[in-house]
Amino acid sequence: MGWITLALIFGGVGLSIFGAFLGAERASLLFNAPPMVVLWAVILVALGIGHARFRAGMHSYAQ
């Protein structure tokens, strides 16, 4: 799951750089489009799962 999350983050960074060259109005249309909303949700879920797994791993390591 860690590599998927990292790939999603890099993809988001790439889209942000691309959006910076589009101008405010076109970038707003790009980032608020339904497929991008799904991407943002997937990124948040992946980060949440990664955070939970990290905390569980640290907890089991400490005991």
pTM above 0.85, yes or no: no
Number of structural domains in the chain: 1
CA distances (Å), origin 48, targets 8, 12, 22, 57, 59: 13, 16, 30, 14, 16
Mean pLDDT over all residues of the chain? Answer: 83
The pLDDT of residue 43 is 85
Geometric angle at alpha carbon 32, from 31 and 38, rounded to 5°: 90
pLDDT tens sequence across 29-58: 888 899 888 888 988 898 888 888 887 777
State how far the Cα of 59 lies from the Cα of 21, in Å rounded to an integer.
44
State how far the Cα of 29 lies from the Cα of 54, in Å rounded to an integer.
35
Q: How confident is the model at residue 21 (pLDDT cuts 50, 70, 90)?
A: very high
Q: Which domain covers residue 19, as residue numbers?
A: 2-62
- The neighbour count for residue 8, using CB atoms within 10 Å, is 18
